[in-house]
Amino acid sequence: MASWFNEIVNTAAGTVVGAANQLTSFLNPGMARLRAAGLNPGGGRVLGGLLDRANVNYSNSITKDIAKDWRVRVSSNSEALPYSGVMSPLGLTQGVIFPYTPQIAVTHQANYTPQKFTHSNYPAFSYENSEVQSIQITADFTVQNGNEAAYLLACIYFFRSSTKMFFGSGDKVGNPPPLVFLDGYGSHYFPHVPCLVTQFSHTMPADVDYLETNAQLSQDAVAGAINQTPLTSKYVQNAQRALQVGVGDGSGGGGGNNGNSSTRIPTVSQITISLQPVYSKKVIADNFSLERFSQGGLIDKGFL
């Protein structure tokens, strides 16, 4: 009884207040401007202190349209390498996003065999082949809180898993390591390039602090909450809540939240990966054309 009564009373009171505000706005243009700007007279917060910013819309890496995101991203097919368990933080960004601009080296090479004729001043070159050599990515990671520690741990597991074949048990036994896809810097530089992870290394410096994260708790907390597409606000909230629950604060000394599941992550570290672009023979035979490639017409196939 009390709840519906309160609701009705509050609704009625809100209607009266709203009408009064509208009248005030009509009579006072300054008040109308402030209301439109989401500000209060005097610059204070609204009652209850819930408003800490007026109309600021921060760039949100979680809900941003991935197709328009220019940041470097290494992602995988969700069936081959699902973003669940310890990799669940990657579901928020649909792959690995590097927190700082990574250093990337891409080498396009054309190979020629020199033919050195006797008594000649210049050798002749016979064309052999061309190749895109493996893409070297060096990226720095810093960890300042539990969420960042969980994300870095997820990245490490992503690249670890990307270098291993499906073996032992499971539905995909016998398959080679999963492909990953490289995106970044708009539509024409890394156009969702299919790549193999040929090398992954993570430095663990000796002269930095290590932050504790509780990976096991994270797995339990986020199971089933992350691996959902498309991105929805509920999904994001679940994942964020899971991250908050699932990681330690790093404030402890030697002991963790759970002695067997805690992991320590370096606060400053570096990841180096080698990605080898790879295309199936059928895709190349059916789609590749140098004329179209040179005009930028094959970006939907991921050709470099």
Give residues in contact with another protein (CB under 8 A). Answer: 30-31, 33-34, 36-45, 49, 51-57
What is the smallest separation between the CB atom of 72 and another protein, expressed in angstroms? 26
**CB neighbours of residue 209 within 10 Å:** 12
Q: Which is nearer to another protein, 17 or 37 (CB)?
A: 37
Which phi and psi angles does 263 have, rounded to 5°? Answer: -135, 145
- The DSSP symbol for 288 reads -
Q: Which is nearer to another protein, 36 or 105 (CB)?
A: 36
Structure tokens at 173: 């036994």
Q: Which is nearer to another protein, 40 or 78 (CB)?
A: 40
Q: Which is nearer to another protein, 53 or 188 (CB)?
A: 53
Distance in angstroms (rounded) separating the CA atoms of residues 30 and 34: 6
> Which amino acid is present at 228?
Q
What is the smallest separation between the CB atom of 27 and another protein, expressed in angstroms? 14
Q: Which is nearer to another protein, 13 or 46 (CB)?
A: 46
What is the smallest separation between the CB atom of 257 and another protein, expressed in angstroms? 30
Distance in angstroms (rounded) separating the CA atoms of residues 250 and 263: 10
What is the smallest separation between the CB atom of 231 and another protein, expressed in angstroms? 24
What is the smallest separation between the CB atom of 53 and another protein, expressed in angstroms? 4
What is the smallest separation between the CB atom of 50 and another protein, expressed in angstroms? 12
Distance in angstroms (rounded) separating the CA atoms of residues 193 and 278: 8
Q: Which is nearer to another protein, 50 or 285 (CB)?
A: 50
